[in-house]
Structure 1
């Protein structure tokens, strides 16, 4: 139901054009007036949102589950038009309907909203806005206030308004039984000021739509609460900033940049040696100014000398649905459906193995068995991951799910070591631009081993590929394409770790056997 943005209407009042509004349009205005104006007058300026379809699918799935928990409820369809939906909702209320109403539709002063769940109460009606998040976020309150304002102003008393969000402690006990998945956070008392502002906000939003394009400077609102799809359009005439802004400094870079901006300094090249107290920040500054990569090879050798051979390089791909699909799973639990593993002998020989399940079934058992078979102590020593907390968590969850495999999986978890903190401590190239993600580091050591040429380029795309492949309507040809894309992407991650560790320690050739030629 997050996915339903509500309709909008355009009416004529006294010969002048009057712009209808919806919950989502008011939310856009509250983030940035220019965003609202562009969404109406220049929608073609928006960048394509690659994650929109996945978010819509999640919202739709969660909304269907929320409705399914009330089998006696009635759905107000948007067809044949939203005016009919408003009339249908009013008829149900006026006739004393005593069960939940889904997508109840209301209009006041040209503002139209569709309420996810409207519940009859003794002293009025309760509004429940369903969200596929684990808690209440600040921007949820604005959405809820708009709904409460429209519902109340249209003549329906509101006695409760809540955010119905996912309870992250829920665990699926029986297939398809989602009783207990949601938790209601009552918010009506928090909405008084927001509701009181709705008249003024609606008037201002409508004035913005009727006027010329607003001139709004870029700022934090461009990314909060959502990354704005018009950011590139708005920045097209901005003067170019420094190539190496101080904000690139890791973790606290924005705050540091703000302090130096007060002295008129914006570029890392403008900072003198020694002015940055943090050793990592000074390292980043120096590498940026000189253009010479920082590499503490001896430090890398010392940090990794205890990593036993043969070394395995492990990377998981996972899905984390808001509503758990399989018995024993929690909301948002990362379920591994794929792993890639390169096993490297001390002499340089490399073999690749892995696992992939995209048939839509529960992949956990097969994944756990493959891990035990391929990563047992008799086959490898240290198991190297990048940001290893994630891999350890995946393995622990599998051990919990399958007690008969738990001992072997816990032993595997105990051998997982982390290449990320080693890299962060001993290496930096200015082209990383303040990031030590594997995708930021890899192009600085092996440009031809990047991800831009892959069909699946990141973890988000891998999740989308799994969901597409798992659909019954997906053709075998397309499923084979997705399978190949996933295998290439995940293998690239573990291949990258081999190349990186060789670059850090100087052990063997960067273009060692099985890895392929590197510059």
Structure 2
């Protein structure tokens, strides 16, 4: 096995960072202290580790190659097993060439003297950067004299449902990728030289742009954009095609919507945003909103779910990354304007679906409109519960059938330039209300809610901390549903309903 004459210093993840942005890898190597805190990094690492363990568990008789006490030991153990013509799966087999070290997730003997290489990923499909990772491994394996007969991205199977606790047979799918990775592998030697030149030099110059978020959000964005003068209302904030339009107007030296000449946009939504931005006067079609919302019967139930998604399903009947509701908030407004709040929250780590379904049936009115913001999500959550619990299905389906969506009504009848091209409720609320900023909350968005749930169910979490998390989650979810009342009242030009009970 060839460990190369150069000091080992590169890996597939570092090459991936370089391909995204050379400056990112340089900062990662020389100025790591400039990285922003990534709140979800620990959870993603844990999910990836869990998926990797499950994939290995489906290869009986395999040998795990530990990096103990260090990677040199892993290299030596791998060489020992390869030299003995091992005919068992190898996990984390370690190879090096020309200063690049790789640890191969799974290598399975093909029975003909070659190996099937599997790069395990926790996503539900193959991504372009997965193939790039595989290419780095194939290059090093080829130079190490390893015969690779086939290679795949082994990702989660979106059609898999957990039927038996802990049994993940069928949870993975191999997307064959050898031919796609080969052309990239041929470029790795030259690229390794280029990377070393960059890392051995001064900090590279690179403007911020789309590459800062593709394929991963970069932890150095704040540092790289420290001297940028952000546009107040950038052309790129236009929904859907904003980036393409921004590139077009940038050719004319224009980045601000305010500098785009009137009448330049044929898209009705873009034209509306442009006009509101230029004038500073919000677009507000009260009559149009009233015509739609007037048909929404009382009692009106404003409903919002918080969900948790596990890479590997933990509860029977769920599939990889399925959103499972563990919390809901419901503000119920009667025809006299009185508001009642109902809620559900499960933080014991057990399957929350039955308790959630029962709480919905018990607490949601049997008539009247059920109002959601981006209603497809709430409707899907309820219908999945109906599929699971046949005895509650009729009542749950009746709730789902009464769901109406406040988002498209808001999109069609309101725009304030401070929304920045977004109609998320967190963007809209500050433009119509002084009821408080989400950023002031301990849990401020759905991603934070998922992290809070994971912390709550962790064995190390104290009772006091658990109570604190529960309070934060209740506050956040209730704010979402009360915000819908505020938005609806504003759209139709009426005062907020009466007292909260």
Would you say same fold, with TM above 0.5?
A: yes
Cα distance per residue 1:158-196 (max 9 Å; x no partner): 222110001101111111110000000111111221111
Aligned to 2:66: 77
Aligned to 2:248: 259
- 1:221 aligned onto 2:208: no
* Pairing partner for 1:429 from 409, 416, 420: 416
The question of whether the paired residues in 1 share the 8 Å contact of 2:339 and 2:497 is answered with: no
- 1:514 aligned onto 2:484: no
Quote the offset at 1:265 in angstroms: 2.5
1:336-375 map, 5 Å: 336-375=325-364
Give unpaired runs (5+ residues) of structure 1. Answer: 1-8
Aligned to 1:3: none
Using the alignment, how far apart are the partners of 2:337 and 2:5 within structure 1? 75
Using the alignment, how far apart are the partners of 1:512 and 1:25 within structure 2? 58
- 1:198 aligned onto 2:188: yes
- 1:445 aligned onto 2:432: yes
Aligned residue for 2:187, secondary structure, equals helix
Quote the offset at 1:96 in angstroms: 2.3
Aligned to 2:309: 320
Cα distance per residue 1:439-475 (max 9 Å; x no partner): 1111111233321111111101111111111122221
* Pairing partner for 1:169 from 122, 145, 159: 159
Aligned residue for 2:472, secondary structure, equals helix
The question of whether the paired residues in 2 share the 8 Å contact of 1:19 and 1:206 is answered with: no
Aligned to 2:177: 187
- 1:419 aligned onto 2:406: yes
Aligned to 1:5: none
Using the alignment, how far apart are the partners of 1:237 and 1:263 within structure 2? 22
The question of whether the paired residues in 2 share the 8 Å contact of 1:382 and 1:417 is answered with: yes
Using the alignment, how far apart are the partners of 1:470 and 1:71 within structure 2? 31
Aligned to 2:148: 158
The question of whether the paired residues in 1 share the 8 Å contact of 2:8 and 2:96 is answered with: no
Aligned to 1:501: 488
Aligned to 2:130: 140
Aligned to 1:308: 297
Task: Name whichever of 228-237 and 425-434 sits farther off.
Answer: 228-237
Cα distance per residue 1:8-48 (max 9 Å; x no partner): x9x996xxxx5610111111111111111110100111111
Using the alignment, how far apart are the partners of 1:253 and 1:151 within structure 2? 43
Aligned to 1:407: 394
The question of whether the paired residues in 2 share the 8 Å contact of 1:449 and 1:496 is answered with: no
- 1:279 aligned onto 2:279: no
Using the alignment, how far apart are the partners of 2:160 and 2:321 within structure 1? 10
Quote the offset at 1:400 in angstroms: 0.3
Quote the offset at 1:251 in angstroms: 1.4
Quote the offset at 1:262 in angstroms: 2.4
Compared CA separation, residues 83 and 323, structure 1 to 2 (3 A)? same
Aligned to 1:87: 76
- 1:294 aligned onto 2:283: yes
Using the alignment, how far apart are the partners of 1:324 and 1:401 within structure 2? 15
The question of whether the paired residues in 2 share the 8 Å contact of 1:336 and 1:363 is answered with: yes
Aligned residue for 1:44, secondary structure, equals helix
Size of the aligned set, in residue pairs, is 498
Using the alignment, how far apart are the partners of 1:356 and 1:399 within structure 2? 19
Quote the offset at 1:406 in angstroms: 0.6
The question of whether the paired residues in 2 share the 8 Å contact of 1:350 and 1:513 is answered with: yes
Aligned residue for 2:211, secondary structure, equals helix
The question of whether the paired residues in 2 share the 8 Å contact of 1:250 and 1:434 is answered with: yes
TM-score normalised over the length of structure 1 = 0.93
Quote the offset at 1:63 in angstroms: 0.9
Quote the offset at 1:205 in angstroms: 0.5
Task: Name whichever of 97-106 and 385-394 sits farther off.
Answer: 97-106
Aligned residue for 1:53, secondary structure, equals helix
